[in-house]
């Protein structure tokens, strides 16, 4: 049965709003996703919110109706509320038509099947949630097997990262691992580790890639540490013809991913 919540003081509203804060999100093991497109893609990928918020004005939309029906069938809460409360939960003046509260999910490294895809994306100490979300979108676009986050990366379940991923968080497996865990796993089977670096003369278009390729992007400001670069099977760089010395991390990852994809698929 659909619940109705119209008061800002409602405990469900307060608890949901606190999920915008990293500490509360981590303690609860829950995160927020916003927008009909993102929540619909999540539903189609098999992820349903534990709580769904929507308004009366959007209730008749067939996709909202499908979400409400699926949430109720799963025994979770579908809550009809006001636009003002959606704005409070979203933190934006023009929130999406729906907001969902999801349980966090990560894939253990040991459960990743490296033979399931020709390309994998690996990010090391990524700090910007927008970059993380965009890299997730790239991973989805090129059919990557997953995104492996190395060491202390930004939270993939932050509101900003989820929003930037445009639903890819729900379609691309995400792993968090320490470098000391990732490297032995990588070397236990096939896989070429390719690092993006400014400290090489190897042009990314002249290199030869072999599947499965693990494309490693380093920290936005510092790049990857020397000990990680030393473990790469190949270091490549994207030539810069203007005054900038490098591309944005997410843009560079996308450029590289499509070059690898072109080669591995012939």
Residue 102 pLDDT grade (very low, low, confident, very high; cuts 50, 70, 90) = very high
Q: How many CB atoms lie within 10 A of CB 203?
A: 11
pLDDT digits (tens, 9 = 90+) for 135-149: 999 999 999 999 999
3-state secondary structure of 89: helix
CB 204 within 8 A of CB 256: yes
pLDDT computed for residue 266 by the predictor: 67
Total-model pTM: 0.92
Structure token digits, residue 245: 């010395």
pLDDT digits (tens, 9 = 90+) for 105-134: 999 999 999 999 999 999 999 999 999 999
**Are 33 and 158 within 8 A, CB to CB?**
no
In the structure encoding, which two tokens stand for residue 205, read together?
């278009």
Question: pLDDT at residue 244 above 80?
Answer: no
Gap between the Cα atoms of 135 and 42, Å rounded: 18
| Region of poorest pLDDT, from 112-116, 223-227, 239-243 | 239-243
In angstroms, what CA-CA distances link 65 with 5, 39, 61, 158, 248? 18, 12, 6, 26, 39
Question: For residues 59 and 100, what is the distance between their CA atoms, to the nearest angstrom?
Answer: 15
Tokens of 79: 């809550």
CA–CA dist 36, 46 (Å, integer): 15
How confident is the model over 12-28, as pLDDT tens digits?
999 999 999 989 999 99
- At residue 99, the 3 state secondary structure works out as strand
> Which pLDDT band holds residue 1 (cuts at 50, 70, 90)?
low
pLDDT for 248 equals: 87
Q: Which residue has the tokens 């979108």?
A: 137
- Domains of the chain: residue spans and CATH: 3-103 (3.30.1330.30), 109-264 (3.40.1280.10)
Q: Are 15 and 147 in contact (CB under 8 A)?
A: no
Banded model confidence at residue 59, pLDDT cuts 50, 70, 90: confident
Label residue 130 exposed, middle or buried (CB < 10 Å: 0-12, 13-18, 19+): middle
Q: Are 209 and 260 in contact (CB under 8 A)?
A: yes
- Residues with Cβ within 8 Å of 258's Cβ and at least 6 positions away in sequence, in order, are 142
- 46 pLDDT exceeds 80? yes
């Amino acid at each position: 049965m659909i619940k109705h919540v119209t008061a800002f003081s409602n405990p469900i509203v307060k608890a949901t709003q606190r999920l915008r804060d990293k500490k509360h999100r981590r303690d609860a093991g829950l995160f927020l996703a916003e927008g009909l497109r993102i929540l619909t893609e999540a539903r189609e990928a098999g992820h349903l919110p534990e709580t769904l918020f929507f308004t009366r004005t959007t209730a008749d939309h067939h996709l909202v109706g499908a979400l409400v029906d699926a949430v109720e069938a799963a025994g979770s809460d579908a809550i009809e509320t006001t636009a003002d409360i959606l704005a409070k939960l979203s933190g934006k003046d023009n929130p999406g038509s729906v907001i969902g509260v999801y349980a966090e999910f990560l894939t253990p490294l040991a459960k990743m099947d490296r033979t399931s895809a020709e390309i994998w994306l690996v990010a090391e100490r990524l700090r910007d949630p927008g970059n993380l979300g965009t890299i997730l979108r790239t991973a989805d676009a090129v059919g990557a097997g997953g995104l492996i986050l190395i060491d202390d990366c930004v939270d993939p379940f932050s509101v900003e990262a989820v929003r930037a991923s445009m639903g890819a968080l729900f379609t691309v497996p995400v792993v968090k691992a320490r470098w000391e865990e990732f490297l032995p796993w990588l070397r236990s089977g096939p896989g070429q580790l390719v690092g993006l670096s400014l400290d090489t003369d190897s042009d990314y278009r002249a290199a030869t890639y072999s599947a499965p390729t693990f494309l490693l992007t380093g920290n936005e400001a510092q790049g990857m540490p020397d000990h990680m670069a030393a473990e790469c099977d190949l270091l490549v760089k994207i030539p810069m013809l203007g005054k900038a010395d490098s591309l944005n991390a997410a843009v560079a990852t996308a450029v590289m991913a499509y070059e690898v994809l072109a080669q591995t698929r012939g």
